Structure 1
Amino acid sequence: MRRVATLVARGLPPAEVLAAVAHEVGHVLGADATTIARLDPDDAMTVVAVAGGHSHDLAVGSRWTPQPPLALAVALRTGHPARCDDYSQASGAFVDATVRPMGIRSSVAAPITVEGHLWGAIVAGTRRAHLPADTEQRMVGFTELIATAIANVDSPPDTGPRSSSNSPCNPTNRTTRRCGEFRGRGGDQAVAAGVRRIVDGPSPSPPRRGVC
């Protein structure tokens, strides 16, 4: 986890940081697959990082509109952590192309919020029966690191925000218009808080969960 925090602090390209976070989440949580997705203005999502065993359809840059009861869909709709331990009632193109071919049986998703705006979500899935009960809260620390990386990317000190639509932090995206303001306003503290949350474990208050 410290390696990921170092990447964020160095201001490396977000694609590199997001890929590192996806791999680290999979390692720490023992997940078989991890995905980070950006929420788009039309309420679809764009995959920005993947790690672990994925379907070839779940590629970086692909766009999907997952539906509940998928944990990822619930997190993107509610802005709260979500879990799904039963996919028997799940359906749709995303399930058929990714979840079922990958054999995922349990997944947990956590929203990524940048300066009060829902930017996207990260989801970890496993082929085992269930992910541990504290997985949602452990993932929150990772989302803080992701938010810091996103907030930093489009606000170079001298040039201001860029407008490339290929950036994971796209200023035209309604969920990221203020992400640049985050830089210099507690970014280092957010990195440290994220590391502490992962190292120290879950806080006492339980997260809200999606219902499968």
Structure 2
Amino acid sequence: MTKSSFTQQPSYFYGMPDVYMQMGYYPFPTQPATEQMSRSVHVPYAMSMASGCKYYLGQSEKIVAGGKEQGFGALVNPLRSTAVLYVNRWLVTNSSAQPLEAHIWFGKASTIVGSKTSRHVTPGYVQLPPCPAVQGQILFGSCHSDITRDGTVASTRIIPPMTTVEQEPSGQWILGPGMAMMIHVPPTSEETPFFFSVDWWEQSVFG
């Protein structure tokens, strides 16, 4: 006599686990998917310029504005330069006990008269043999004449006493041959010493 099917042991697939699976729930742990490791590495553009011996930085000596004299520090691209200068960062350090009003000026380099050339300029990549000679120049000084003609004051900063203020244009300020970017401090009632620093990279005009 054939045994009744109702007395057979129920199959595993018709038990409780199967009910869970029909509801979308899996009671057994599954192996997590293997995560794909990113093979790309982000290299800042300024770093790539430095590794190619095209990145430079430097600062002025102490600049004094006061009385009837204005003070200035500038990054200049000489007229006969064969490079384009990309300003990455600039800094102004106010070492006085009073606030400093600084104007950011762009214009012709020939307008800047009565200046000195800073010797404190170095490539960002320090090595032997040295990188090619820098074409940009850092000029600074104090004078009575109006050196903001033939240009535009594009912005103004108020720098608190004993403070350094910086900004990173990240290469969005570009100086062609014969042009300059200058930090200009108008005459003040008291002598106000400050320093100007700037970082930039250079690329050939001819590509």
Whichever structure has more strand as a proportion of its residues is: 2
Q: Whose RCO is larger (CA < 8 A, sep 6+)?
A: 2
Query: Shorter-chain TM-score: which interval?
Result: under 0.3
Which of structures 1 and 2 has the bigger CA Rg? 2
Higher helix proportion: 1
Normalising by structure 2, report the TM-score.
Answer: 0.27
